Chains A and B, each alone.
Chain A
Amino acid sequence: MVSLRILRAGPGTTIQDQGRRGYLRFGVSESGPMDWIGHARANILAGNAPGVAALEIGIGGIELQAEGGPVWIGHAGAPFDLARNGTALPSCGRTRLQEGDRLTVKTAAQGSWFYLSPAGGIVASPVLGSLATNLRTGLGPPPVTAGTVLSLGSPAQELTTELICPIDAPADLPRTVRVVPGPQDDYFSTRELARFFAETYRVSAQGDRMGYRLEGPPLRHARGFNIVSDAIALGAIQVPGDGTPIVLMADHQPTGGYPKLGHVIRADIGRLAQCRPGTDVRFAPTSVRAARVELLAALDYLKAMLDRAERREADLSSERLLSVNLVSGVYE
């Protein structure tokens, strides 16, 4: 059977599919990838559907080996250093590993999360319908460590060519992340909200798959900071009593009791996830309508990638990818 043997893995290496849906009402977090666009790209490059289970790799990197036959792997996410048997590869693309080939992923100057998607997907037992790992609750496949052997499914299509995707130049700093205000924006004065959107925040080292804390001037609540708990969606910016905003990420709790001044839009949540501790970030208000347009653009971009893969075009040429303007927003 074709498999991947993990030779070395940084802490926090997990298997993530598109997330666990349908159990939020029972207190079960959605989980799923921190950078869903990077995850989807890796899958599409591998000829998989966008939500198939793939490896999510943090700044600890990974080293693995193909066993039992050749393995095609889609790779995308942060611009990490990638090498096959010691020879550098582009960080974003599709690579064929012969049986015995070693693939090494190491952190580079930027980004936090990298995705490796073997063609055919990772075969494991779903928990509550999903292969997403939640490190806090222990749901899903166990964390991936040295010695883990991942069984792979049969590729949906025959792959014949290796691919290279363009990596975009870093955007100007600080990065701007767009936010839809609400539902508890009325717990802050107009002036305080304006201050949130004017200040520069720094991603704190106190961050993980549950949430990213933001260092910066504390926000004052106009009406106290205890609310009767309500539900939390991905990207919620909650402001606890000390006034330090926390953006709730993939493994966030399903419910909570702090005012949420807004939500990071889906098109930008992966870019925020990729920000390392110490990165400066600014936030810009946007509307639900505009956020939806951006999400649809991101999905269209991925759909176009998928369509090309399905048509088995020989190559995803750099020119064509660069002509899709969303690409410039995927990796900063």
Chain B
Amino acid sequence: MTQDGSPAFGPEVRFLHAGETALVVEFGVAIDPAIHERVLVLDRALAATPIEGIVETVPTYRSLMIHYDPTRIQPQALIDSVRALPPAGVAATSPLRRWLVPACYGPEHAPDLDGVAAALGLSPERVVALHSGATYRIYMYGFAPGFAYLGGLPQELAISRRATPRPRAEANSLIIAGGQAVITTVPMPTGWHVLGRTPERFFALGRDPVFLAAVGDEVRFDPIDEPTFAALERRAEAGEVVVRILEPARW
């Protein structure tokens, strides 16, 4: 099920079949910014040089899934076309956006902050400083619409899941576990640790745009107090976008 990759995408790339309607272009098996970058480069190359028969593409941590219509393109022709993507197309990267996401770490919105701090031997303030001091990349969406998996959680915040899942974490919670960070979009039971909450909605039907950020975009968290959260929450609920896009120079 595996074929060697093209020189353009490096020697380790594997083409794997996910049935007869999807092809996985796999660049590695780990969470690694360099691997993810290659996923994004291919994704953008395909956007710049569309191949007839591709239905949609799904970037993940380590691979790009290409959904295709087998009545319009055969799998081997698809692999050959991907290999033959022009280097210019491969190099074409669109500028990433960088989001400053308001985040409230107050007790009402951060039920696990004290527990995480105690488990890691840190002060709650230090946990907040670490979480809000890091720059994250959106590696992948999954689980639910707009549910963003972030890379870039500081090593000091590596913690395994809760022994007992919480029956409910609110939508727009900032949760961590297993060295990963997530921004949720739906209320859900979770074994992850709830460190805070943003008033922003990364997914909002009826708002334009419905989804805010793309895979590959970068995210930082901007600590806000509870009155500010409440004020922004009202604006976000009314359909306003309360997150800010930062210019690269502002980092």
Binding site for B on A (CB under 8 A): 21-28, 127-128, 137, 139, 180-183, 185, 227-236, 253-256, 260, 263-266, 288, 291-292, 295-296, 299
Distance, CA A292 to CA B73, complexed state (A): 11
Please, which residue of chain A has its CB at the minimum distance from the CB of B62?
Answer: A228
Residues of B within 8 Å of A137, CB to CB, are: 144-145, 186
Given contacts A25-B58, A127-B205, A233-B65, contact A183 B142 (CB under 8 A): no
Interface pairs (26), CB distance under 8 Å? A24-B58, A25-B58, A26-B141, A27-B143, A27-B144, A128-B210, A137-B145, A180-B19, A183-B18, A183-B26, A227-B29, A228-B29, A229-B61, A229-B140, A229-B149, A231-B18, A232-B18, A235-B19, A260-B18, A263-B19, A263-B20, A265-B20, A292-B70, A295-B20, A295-B21, A295-B70
Q: Which of B127-141 contact A (CB under 8 A)?
A: 140-141
In the complex the two chains form, is B59's CB within 8 Å of A27's CB? no
In the complex the two chains form, is A183's CB within 8 Å of B16's CB? yes
Distance, CA A235 to CA B17, complexed state (A): 12
Residues of A within 8 Å of B55, CB to CB, are: 21
- A29 CB to nearest chain B CB (Å): 8
Count chain B residues whose beta carbon lies closer than 8 angstroms to a beta carbon of A: 45
- B23 CB to nearest chain A CB (Å): 9
In the complex the two chains form, is A266's CB within 8 Å of B20's CB? yes
- A181 CB to nearest chain B CB (Å): 6
Residues of B within 8 Å of A236, CB to CB, are: 18-19
With contacts A180-B19, A182-B18 known, what are 14 further pairs, Cβ within 8 A? A25-B57, A25-B141, A128-B210, A137-B186, A183-B26, A228-B30, A230-B65, A236-B18, A255-B58, A255-B142, A263-B22, A265-B20, A288-B17, A292-B75
Please, which residue of chain B has its CB at the minimum distance from the CB of A263?
Answer: B19
Binding site for A on B (CB under 8 A): 1, 16-22, 24, 26, 29-31, 55-63, 65, 67, 70-71, 74-75, 140-149, 185-186, 203, 205, 210-211, 215
* The 6 A-B residue pairs with the shortest CB-CB distance in the complex, in nearest-first order: A255-B142, A263-B19, A183-B16, A231-B65, A27-B141, A291-B20
Number of A-B contacts (CB under 8 A): 133
In the complex the two chains form, is A233's CB within 8 Å of B56's CB? no
Please, which residue of chain A has its CB at the minimum distance from the CB of B178?
Answer: A226
Please, which residue of chain B has its CB at the minimum distance from the CB of A180?
Answer: B19
Residues of A within 8 Å of B147, CB to CB, are: 27
Please, which residue of chain B has its CB at the minimum distance from the CB of A227?
Answer: B29
In the complex the two chains form, is B61's CB within 8 Å of A228's CB? yes
Distance, CA A22 to CA B67, complexed state (A): 10
Please, which residue of chain B has its CB at the minimum distance from the CB of A181?
Answer: B1
In the complex the two chains form, is B18's CB within 8 Å of A25's CB? no
In the complex the two chains form, is B75's CB within 8 Å of A255's CB? no
Distance, CA A231 to CA B65, complexed state (A): 6
- A226 CB to nearest chain B CB (Å): 9
Most chain B beta-carbon contacts within 10 A, residue among A185, A229, A263, A296? A229
Residues of A within 8 Å of B149, CB to CB, are: 229
In the complex the two chains form, is B59's CB within 8 Å of A25's CB? yes
Given contacts A260-B18, A291-B19, contact A26 B57 (CB under 8 A): no
Distance, CA A263 to CA B74, complexed state (A): 17
In the complex the two chains form, is A266's CB within 8 Å of B145's CB? no
Distance, CA A26 to CA B186, complexed state (A): 14
Distance, CA A278 to CA B146, complexed state (A): 36
